[in-house]
């Protein structure tokens, strides 16, 4: 028997969207949810993410469609492109998967995933091997805010063997992904090589690690309130930048926790243990005229003008790229960002959008003469790594109207004011 599926009180009447890969775990969860009348009546959707990483990916999608058809449930299929960013294929696939799920989840909807006790134990040990703090050792939480709704893991206390017995008793059919046997992947190595060895000596090792994760979560919760106050004290601006002077004043243990909380707020991969040390040693104590940085898992922390910034590095816009834009619809940029004209229907004339090529000049609001854009950007506080990405807007006559939403020229500023409009550059 499996424990009953009951949503937490704050979302007791919410609809559920279940992530369905077609494997054993998600197959069991999907059927268990479909067999729970109350949850089905509240609304039950199914989401399958097609990563395109395996030759049988299309067949797996077809299998999921047949299962949902038999259960009379709606299936949404998302095809994603997995792009590695220095943290391995497994992490890249997970990032692409959760991005697709976040974009699909409706307001107030609950995402249900089939993570179980064995997954929790593996995650705890992986985090321990990376020298994670209490947040990392807390591994996965059974209930947390996610996208516009919630993320629910109802089976974190249930061992995989129990799910397997339940699925076999119902003669369910599921997919066996051959990549799950690839011990070159860290999690698979733990699952197939390390845990069987540990279990021979300590049969309850998975339960013990899962319990340790719970204790770490409790400790992290107690510390998080003080961390939030400390982070607020050293944060400057939105998105948050951290004051180097403020960080230096914090005790080392608190500074480490504040850095991790900041990176989580920036929705970047967790900061590794060596990252905290590198930030303290190489960034906080760097010369004022230096531009030091620390890179990890496709993310970067950089010091500039007495502050720390965190972001995902992007290359510059191609100098050969240009586009015509009337403002009616968002303009998607080559680097994944976009331009938006909010509050106004369209520009009075189509503008040309292109990358910086050097030598551009702009007339600022209230000024009679033009100024070199290079100097304006330096004076405006735009970080140097963002300047090559700035999309420039030119009127039909060739005059520069704006550099992203960072620098708005006089002509465009007056028009936006008259039409209650706003130019917005959305960075990827």
**Residues 32 and 162: beta-carbon distance below 8 Å:** no
Rg (the chain; Cα; Å): 25
Whole-angstrom distance, CA of residue 164 vs CA of residue 372: 67
Can you tell me which residue has the tokens 């939030």? 228
Number of residues written out for the chain? 428
Copy the structure tokens of residue 372.
Answer: 């070199």
Can you tell me which residue has the tokens 């709606």? 74
Q: Is 21 annotated in some ligand binding site?
A: yes
Whole-angstrom distance, CA of residue 50 vs CA of residue 209: 32
Q: Residues near 222 by Cβ (< 8 Å), separated by ≥ 6?
A: none
Strands 149-152 and 110-112: parallel
User: Dihedrals φ, ψ of 304, to 5°?
Assistant: -155, 130
3-state secondary structure of 164: helix
Partners of 354 in beta bridges = 322, 392
Whole-angstrom distance, CA of residue 304 vs CA of residue 357: 24
Whole-angstrom distance, CA of residue 35 vs CA of residue 39: 9
Q: Is 23 annotated in some ligand binding site?
A: yes
Copy the structure tokens of residue 329.
Answer: 């619809």
Whole-angstrom distance, CA of residue 168 vs CA of residue 285: 59
Copy the structure tokens of residue 83.
Answer: 């792009």
Q: Is 26 annotated in some ligand binding site?
A: yes
Whole-angstrom distance, CA of residue 11 vs CA of residue 211: 25
Can you tell me which residue has the tokens 């998302």? 78
Annotated binding site: 21-26
- The annotation places the binding site for ATP at 21-26
């Amino acid at each position: 028997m499996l424990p009953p599926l009951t949503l937490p009180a704050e979302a007791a009447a919410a609809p559920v969207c279940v992530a369905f890969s077609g494997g054993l775990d998600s197959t069991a969860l999907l059927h268990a949810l479909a067999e729970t009348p109350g949850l089905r009546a509240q609304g039950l959707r199914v989401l399958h993410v097609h990563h395109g990483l395996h030759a049988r990916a299309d067949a797996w999608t077809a299998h999921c469609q047949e299962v949902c058809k038999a259960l009379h449930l709606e299936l949404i299929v998302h095809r994603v492109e997995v792009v590695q960013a220095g943290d391995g294929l497994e992490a890249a696939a997970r990032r692409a998967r959760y991005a697709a799920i976040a974009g699909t989840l409706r307001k107030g909807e609950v995402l249900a995933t089939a993570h179980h006790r064995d997954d929790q134990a593996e995650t705890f040990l992986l985090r321990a091997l990376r020298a994670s703090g209490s947040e990392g050792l807390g591994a996965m939480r059974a209930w947390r805010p996610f996208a516009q709704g919630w993320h629910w893991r109802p089976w974190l206390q249930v061992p995989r063997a129990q799910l397997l017995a339940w699925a076999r008793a119902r003669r369910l059919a599921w997919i066996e992904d051959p990549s799950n046997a690839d011990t070159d992947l860290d999690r698979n190595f733990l699952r197939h090589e390390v845990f069987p060895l540990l279990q021979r000596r300590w049969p309850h090792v998975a339960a013990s690690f899962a319990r340790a994760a719970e204790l770490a979560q409790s400790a992290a919760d107690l510390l998080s309130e003080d961390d939030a106050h400390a982070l607020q004290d050293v944060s400057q601006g939105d998105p948050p930048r951290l004051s180097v002077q403020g960080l230096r004043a914090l005790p080392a243990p608190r500074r480490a926790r504040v850095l991790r909380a900041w990176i989580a707020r920036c929705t970047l991969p967790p900061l590794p243990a060596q990252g905290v040390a590198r930030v303290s040693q190489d960034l906080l104590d760097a010369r004022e005229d230096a531009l030091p940085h620390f890179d990890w898992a496709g993310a970067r922390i950089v010091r500039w003008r007495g502050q720390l910034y965190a972001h995902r590095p992007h290359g510059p816009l191609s100098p050969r790229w240009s586009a015509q834009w009337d403002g009616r619809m968002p303009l998607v940029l080559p680097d994944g960002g976009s331009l938006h004209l909010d509050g106004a229907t369209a520009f009075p004339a189509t503008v040309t959008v292109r990358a910086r090529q050097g030598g551009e000049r702009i007339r600022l609001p209230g000024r009679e003469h033009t100024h070199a854009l290079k100097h304006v950007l330096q004076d405006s506080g735009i970080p140097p790594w963002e300047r090559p990405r700035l999309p420039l807007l030119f009127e039909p006559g060739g005059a520069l109207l704006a550099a992203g939403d960072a620098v708005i020229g006089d002509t465009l500023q007056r028009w936006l004011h008259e039409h209650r409009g706003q130019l917005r550059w959305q960075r990827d």
